[in-house]
Structure 1
Amino acid sequence: MSRKAKVRTKSILSKIFCSLIYIVLFMPIAVVVVNSFNATTSKPYLTWKGFTFDWYVKLFENQSLLTSFGNTMIIALVTTVLSTIIGTLGAIGMYKYKFKGKGIIDGLLYIPVVIPEIVMGISLLTVFAKVSIPRGMLTLIIAHITFCVPYVIFNVRARLSGYDISIEEASMDLGANRIRTFWEITLPVLRPGITAGALLAFTLSIDDVIISYFVNGNTMTYPLQVMASIKSGVAPDVNALSALILAGTIIFVVLTQGNLFKKKKQ
């Protein structure tokens, strides 16, 4: 076989391999979207009976599903804001100051990341029971902040690894106080890491099932609502809401990536 033929064969095989990877990744998503237009009304809602938009209409009549999605968004937004603030301040403090036990605290940050979620859920449930905090929205927010803060710290600290602290010293030498220096010097430099940490915290919060199951009480979230409906088959209105969430995510990614592309082009 000639060299040209070998290169062509490798190119074809690589394309086939990449196509298989994309099929495995996106086929389940495609099934959810397609099934949201399925006209079937019989469980387990898997047999194709025709094309319809009825499930998107019925979605807004399903109050329990909408309520669970609303709870999820509230929890995710509050968790994102609080975990981003705590994580950013924690990362800056860990970077700037030296104190006894810093290495131990630094190592402990990895525990919420690597520990199995079921262990984390049981631990949080035990703590809430010991301090007599009723399970519900509050415990869900506290639990989500607990496992989201380390991810924010890691992202911000990665940004700090190339940070020149002498910029802050120069700012204060020119008359700016610490607060103004933080808002006009430190924060803009750390913004990419803070943004990445906030997006990751939002994604982790909106997607969590296991920890939320242990601490939710009577507050139902969207992932838990979907899990509860699995026994009888996921209804197409759940698929419809999932498709709308997917569409919103795609629009957000396109807009943000489009802005980044324009900035790079300029």
Structure 2
Amino acid sequence: MPSGDRPALESRPDEALTPVRRGFKPPPWLRRLGSWSLNAYAAFVILYLLLPVAVIVLFSFNDPAGKFNFVWKGFSLEAWQDPWKYPALVDALKTSLQVAALSTLVALVLGTLVAIALVRHQFRGSGGVDLFLVIPLTTPEIVLGSSLLTLFLDFGWNLGFGTIVLAHIMFEVSFIALTVKARIRGFDWSLEDAAMDLGASPTRTFFKVTLPLIVPGIVAAMMLSFALSLDDFIITLFNAGSTTTYPLYVNNAAKTALPPQINVLATMILAASLALIGLSVVWQRWRTRGEAR
């Protein structure tokens, strides 16, 4: 055998007959216990998340004995028969819906364009833009609200509906931009080039090719932004002035009187949100099936 050649490895018969050891295989009872524990843990987490919502819905049917709706006294439909009993509560809800709709609309346009620019075009400083988008999400709301209050007062603006909308747009843009950006990160931009090669203008290409493909991400971002605006309390508290939104009304009412109509309106908002989510899911499935055909 030449000195440069290595001897071939010889396998011994006893090694070939030795069974290969596999990982530990738990007994059936242990596997059943692990499966039961996992299901029980998942059920506990779901119950923990749904319990506050269930309490809100349940106490909308309560018949409170006094001004506060904290103790269950009996089943009643009185609050549902007259959910608009308190004009101040209705006005606060209308204000919140108007603020959420207007701020979401403006933030949706700004955030979507920012997301497309960051993904579609690579430019110097794009990483810094990502950092600025994250800052409003990581900054405590009390810091954000007080900073915006100082800014508005320095400009000499009167606090009210307009400052609430501006404040909400500021943090909604970040949520929308990051959500849409995650959706279009894997977008095939050659489709745009193909459309323009066929004679479509950049504007027509955007509305006929790009926008329909990123609509699911835009819809998800819009729903998230609307919910965040409707729910915001701390930033709104700093910049509302004499304007009262639904969260501010609930906070003030909790100190003096908490009628069940608050729970009724909250249940209505919850039902509308679930309906919109359901319609969104159905629409996306229908759209996916249409594309598959």
The verdict on a shared fold, with TM-score over 0.5 as the criterion, is yes
Q: Which residue number in structure 2 is paired with residue 156 of structure 1?
A: 180
Q: 1:13 to 1:96 in 2, by over 3 A?
A: closer
Match of 1:146 among 163, 170, 174: 170
Greater mean deviation of Cα atoms: 194-203 or 74-83: 194-203
The residue aligned with 1:134 is: 158
Output the CA distance in 1 between the equivalents of 2:286 and 2:184.
26
Does residue 67 of structure 1 match 2:91? yes
Kindly state the Cα deviation for residue 233 of structure 1 after the two structures are TM-superposed: 5.4
Root-mean-square deviation over aligned CA pairs = 1.9
In the other structure, the counterpart of 2:133 is 109
Deviations 1:132-176 (A, max 9, x none): 111111111100000000111112211231122222122111111
Give the TM-score, by structure 1 length: 0.92
Report the equivalent of 1:243: 267
Alignment CA distance shift 1:3-1:262 (3 Å): farther
Which residue pairs with 1:182 in the alignment?
Answer: 206
State the number of aligned residues: 265
Between the aligned partners of 1:264 and 1:181, the Cα distance in structure 2 is 21
Is contact 2:216–2:284 with CA below 8 Å preserved after alignment? no
- Please say which structure displays the higher CA radius of gyration: 2
Q: Which residue of 1 aligns with 2:279?
A: 255
Q: TM-score, normalised by structure 2?
A: 0.84
> Structure 1 residue 96: deviation in Å?
3.2
Q: What SS does the aligned partner of 1:49 have?
A: coil
Letter paired with 1:74: Q
How far apart are the structure 2 equivalents of 1:233 and 1:207? Answer: 20
Letter of the structure 2 residue corresponding to residue 205 of structure 1: S
In the alignment, structure 1 residue 195 sits paired with structure 2 residue 219: yes
> Matched residue of 2:199: which SS?
coil
Aligned to 2:31: 7
Q: CA deviation at 1:49?
A: 2.1
Deviation at 1:38, TM superposition (A): 0.9
In the alignment, is residue 170 of structure 1 matched against residue 194 of structure 2? yes
**Pick from 45, 59, 68: which aligns with 1:21?**
45
Unaligned ranges ≥5, structure 2: 1-25
Provide the identity percentage: 35
Residue 259 of structure 1 and its aligned partner are, at CA, apart by 3.9
1:224 is the counterpart of 2:248 = yes
Note if contact 2:112-2:177 (Cα within 8 Å) is conserved in structure 1. Answer: yes
> Partners of 1:254 and 1:163 in 2: how far apart?
25
Inter-partner Cα distance in structure 2 for 1:262 and 1:181? 24
One-letter code aligned to 2:146:
I
Pairwise CA distance, 1:99: 4.1
- Code of the aligned partner of 2:260: P
1-structure distance, mates of 2:257, 2:37: 38
CA 1:97/1:254 → structure 2, altered by over 3 Å: closer, same or farther?
A: closer
Q: 1:231 aligns to what SS in structure 2?
A: helix
AA of the residue aligned to 2:178: F
Give the deviation of 1:100 after TM superposition: 4.1
* One-letter amino acid of the counterpart of residue 225, structure 1: Y
Give unmatched runs, 5+ long, in structure 1: none
- Work out whether residues 136 and 174 of structure 2, in 8 Å CA contact, stay in contact via their aligned partners in 1: yes
Amino acid at match of 2:195: S
